[in-house]
Each structure stands twice: as structure tokens, then as C-alpha cells.
Amino acid sequence: MAKDLGLGVGLAAVIFLAFNGINLLPILFLGGIGYFLFNTVSKQALGDNFSISNKDEIKVPEVDFSDIGGQDTAKNELLEALEFVKSKDKIKKLGIRPLKGLMLSGPPGTGKTLMAKAAAHYIDSVFISTSGSEFIEMYAGVGAKRVRKIFKEARDKAKKSNKNNAIIFIDEIDVLGGKRGKSSSHMEYDQTLNQLLVELDGISVDDQVNVLVVGATNRIDILDEALLRPGRFDRIVKVDLPDKEGREHILKIHTKNKPIADDVDLTQLAKETFRFSGAQLESLSNEAAIMAMRAEAEKINREHFKEAIDKVMMGEKLNRRPNIEELKRVAYHEVGHALLGEVVNPNSVSNITITSRGKALGYVRHNPEDDYYLQTIDYLKNQIAVLVAGSLVEEEILGNRSTGASNDFEKAIKVAQQIIFSGMSKLGVVGKDSLPGKMLHDTISEIINEQEAIVREEIKNNKDFIHKVVEILLEEESIIGDEFRRLLTEERKEDNVA
């Protein structure tokens, strides 16, 4: 009615102005632009343009828990929680309230999205995937409306496909569920979170469609406490980086459809990929296959995987090449790291190279025999020794240091601080806020100087060996760990004979 009245008044005004000889073209042009902008802004403000990424997709994901490797603990915990969803009649008889929310927490690339899809497959559920950022707008009330809409859509899709369960997966939920009161400029964030809390509270065991909300975040520390309390997100499942056995399992999954040569040892690859996420291991397998294709090889061999590890860790090879003097310095620097790495942790050096990748002019890849989650004072001091060894070799053999060691020193200082604030220094147990700056500086210097003295002694005892490895590096550009250890063993035998 109001729209028809407005059109009538507008038409009368146009006729009146035309009879009085006024040029209507500029008015009509500006009016058209205004009408277009008004409609666009209105639709955005009302959330009419919002749609879920898989709006027309109601199929259950085909991802199964067997497709996810290295997360046995997380999978078992999730499967236990999903049993409550599958056995709805049983839990109703026992008076158990329904499971409303599951929070998957862990670093990027560990398989949180895959686990949410596998959960939907396990309980034969409609799966709706979205992101926390899709609920946030500058217009008040839009986010809350979108939350209501996604819950309604989940129920409608489940009914349409004759399913009893629907999973709403919200990736990066920390954008939507951050602690309230931080955005003082406008309350849109808080209103959106409040609506999500209301929707979670509204889930009942008597609902025709059981809606389960699965959130994923790598910043669980910034989530609002009201979101994580029991009765909303009932379970928090930690999806962490895989251990050595987990990495091997993931590699087996991602290489089962690839022609792998006999010289490839997945157990050894798992050792060499310490702290790799599942996504990085998938990328590693893919990059190795690409390198085999470039080399026109029929199978993916050990060298392809070795090159792929370096690429995933450091990036692609760069065209830039230092001049011969710089290259020589880089070689001495990296041999210093490798020597001390082998001294403090035998059999740990995997590869030494002076090929530029990313921001590094050269690097040494160290592979621990086992994954370490607790670090002793000896372990941390050894790490400092390895870090400072590169610059000390430059100083002892070339006569001075270079700026190439700046990143090593930053890391060494952080390790020294870790020693101090873990109560393992001469200061005993200290607090970060109560420790005077000069005392902290002096203690860090003392810890690092102690290791520098040990490193200098090792360098003086192995100068001939260092020169020999540098010559090979300048000619070959890289040395594998086994060859490096062979040369070191031969040098030590010669010294003992002498």
C-alpha cells in the first residue's frame, strides 16, 4: 500500500514538473542511482544476500574417520560424543540431555574440518559448513539474523532429506565467539554471539531434527566463557599436531594412490617431518609427486621426497646466488650448525645445503630420533650451542661474524629466557614481571657465553674436518646426513691414529 502511494505521488510530481518546462533527465538519473543504492544497502542490512556456501548441497560428506590419520585420541573422544547423537532413544530413556556442541581446538592444518565432515558421515547427518566471519556485518542485527537463518536452514534440509540429524560446522568460530565487551564501538559482535547462545539453549531432546554445532578454532583462549560452558559446547576436543606414528599413518594415507619407489622409507620420512601438520604432510606427498613428474620418473623416489621436505619447510629454490666469498661464508656457517648438531645429538643431521630457499641462504635440517615434549636443561643448552655455532665458525676461521646469524641469536636468546623462566637457571624460580631487566640480560649473556666456550673448543678440534666439508659443499651444494657422518667418523679415526 505504502509503495503504491509513493509511486503515485512520484508520478504526479513528474507530470507537474514536465508541464512547467523543467528538464527531468538529471532528476531521473540521480533518482535511479539513489533507488539502486537504497535497495542494495537495504538488502545487505537485512541479510537478504546471505547464503550458506553449500546451500543446494544436502548430501552427507563422504569423508570417513579412516581417512584421517594421526589423531587417534581426538577421533576416539569425538566418536564417544557422537554415540550420544546416534542413540537418541536410549539417551532420552536414561534422561540424558542431548549433545549440543563440540569444539575442535588445535593448530591450523591438523584436520579439524575433516573431522567435522567425518562426524557428519558417521551419524548420517546433513552437513552445513560456514565461517565465523560470514556472520559479522557493520549493520546492527544482521549477524543475529544470519545465526537464526542457518539453524532454520539446517532443520529444513534435514527434513527435506528425511534425516534426523544436522551438523552446523562453524570454522574460525573465534571471529564469532570472541569475548564480549571488547568491541565497544558497536555491539554487533555481542548481539551475534548472544543469538548463537540462544539457539544452542533452544536445542532439545524432543526436537524432530537433532542439530549439533561443531566449532573449530586455533585460538580457544579468546572464546567467550559463556560459549564453552557445559550445556552449550559440551566437549572440547584437542586436535593437535601428530606424533611420529601419526605422521607415518598420514603419509601412508596420502601415498596409497601414488607409485612409490622401493628406496622410500615412510618411517624415516615421519622422523624427518617433526612438527609437520596433516596439511603439510599432504602437501609433501603432492610436491614429491610433482617433482617426480618434472624429472619424468615413473616412481616417486627418496630424492623427490627429500626435495619436497625442503620446499614445504623453506619454500621454492631462488634464482639468486651469492658471490663466491658469500657462498663460502654460508658454507662455513652451515657446517658449524651441522657439526654441533651431530655432537650434541648424534645421527640428527639429515641434510646440509647452501642452496637459497625463502629467506635462507643455506640451512641444516635436523631430525630428532624421537619427538620431545618435555625439555631438560641439557637439551636447551645444546640447542643454544647449535644456534651459535654458525657465527662462531665464521669468527674462528674467517676472522669475523656476519649479519646472517641475527636470526640464530634471536632464537638463542628465547631459549635462554625459557631456561630462566622455567626455573632452571642460577636465579631459581623467578617471575617475568618481577625480574629486573639488567639481571635478566646478565643471566642470558652468562648462559650463552657458557655455550660459546664449549662450541669454540669443538671448532678448534675439528678445523680440518670443517674445511673438508666446506670444499664438498662448494662443489656439490648439499650433503646428506649419512655422508656427513661418514666424513666425521673418518676424521675422528685419523685423529686417534695420529
Domain boundaries, the chain: 65-238, 244-314, 324-497
Cβ proximity of 99 and 137 under 8 Å: no
Cβ proximity of 325 and 470 under 8 Å: no
465 vs 445: CA distance, rounded Å: 29
DSSP 397: I
Cβ proximity of 195 and 232 under 8 Å: no
- DSSP string for residues in 417-462: HHHHHTT-STT-S--TTTS-HHHHHHHHHHHHHHHHHHHHHHHHHT
Note the pLDDT of residue 46: 42
DSSP 93: H
Domains 65-238 and 244-314 share a fold: no
| CB count in 10 Å sphere of residue 229 | 11
| CB count in 10 Å sphere of residue 464 | 11
The SS3 assignment for 362 reads coil
Torsion angle of C-alpha atoms 65, 69, 75, 79, degrees rounded to 10: 20
CATH classification for the domain delimited by 244-314, as one of 3.40.50.2300, 2.60.40.1180, 1.10.8.60, 1.10.3720.10? 1.10.8.60
65-238 architecture in CATH?
3-Layer(aba) Sandwich (3.40)
Closest C-alpha to 297, from 258, 253, 353, 255? 258
Cβ proximity of 180 and 189 under 8 Å: yes
468 vs 486: CA distance, rounded Å: 12
**Cα 12 from chain centre:** 63
User: Is the torsion defined by CA of 468, 472, 478, 481 positive or negative?
Assistant: negative
339 vs 473: CA distance, rounded Å: 14
Digit-coded pLDDT (tens) for 249-282:
999 999 999 999 999 999 989 988 888 999 999 9
Cell of 112: 579439524
Q: How far is CA 412 from CA 369, 385, 399, 448, 456, in A?
A: 22, 8, 22, 8, 16
Q: Which of 334, 394, 395, 452 is catalytic?
A: 334
Known catalytic residue: 57? no
Cβ proximity of 459 and 393 under 8 Å: yes
Edge-first strand listing for the sheet containing 233-238: 126-131, 165-171, 210-217, 101-105, 233-238
Q: Residue type for 40, please?
A: T
Torsion angle of C-alpha atoms 112, 116, 118, 123, degrees rounded to 10: 150
| CB count in 10 Å sphere of residue 95 | 7
Cβ proximity of 134 and 95 under 8 Å: no
Find all residues with CB under 8 Å of 449, minimum gap 6, and list them: none
Tell me what the pLDDT averaged over the chain comes to.
Answer: 84
Phi and psi based region of residue 370 (left: phi greater than 0; alpha: psi -120 to 50; beta: remaining): beta
| CB count in 10 Å sphere of residue 104 | 28
| CB count in 10 Å sphere of residue 399 | 7
Alpha helices in 87-180 (DSSP H): 88-93, 112-122, 142-160, 174-177
CATH classification for the domain delimited by 324-497, as one of 1.25.40.10, 3.40.50.10300, 1.20.140.10, 1.20.58.760? 1.20.58.760
Q: How far is CA 404 from CA 94, 334, 392, 453, 495, in A?
A: 66, 11, 12, 21, 32
Q: Residue type for 434, please?
A: S
Digit-coded pLDDT (tens) for 172-217:
998 888 887 665 545 666 788 888 899 888 887 777 888 899 999 9
Residue owning grid cell 617471575 = 431
Per-residue confidence of the chain (498 residues) as pLDDT tens digits? 445 555 555 666 656 556 666 665 666 656 666 555 555 544 444 444 444 444 444 566 788 888 888 888 888 888 888 888 877 777 777 777 778 899 999 999 999 999 999 999 998 889 999 988 888 765 556 788 888 999 999 999 989 988 888 999 999 998 888 887 665 545 666 788 888 899 888 887 777 888 899 999 998 988 988 898 888 888 899 999 998 889 999 999 999 999 999 999 999 899 888 889 999 999 999 999 999 999 999 999 999 998 899 888 888 776 667 788 889 999 999 999 999 999 999 988 988 999 888 778 888 988 776 666 678 999 999 999 999 999 999 999 999 999 888 899 999 999 999 999 999 999 999 988 889 989 999 999 999 999 999 999 999 999 999 999 999 999 998 898 889 999 998 888 776 665
Note the pLDDT of residue 363: 87
Closest C-alpha to 305, from 274, 266, 276, 278? 266
Cβ proximity of 132 and 172 under 8 Å: yes
Residue owning grid cell 651441522 = 338
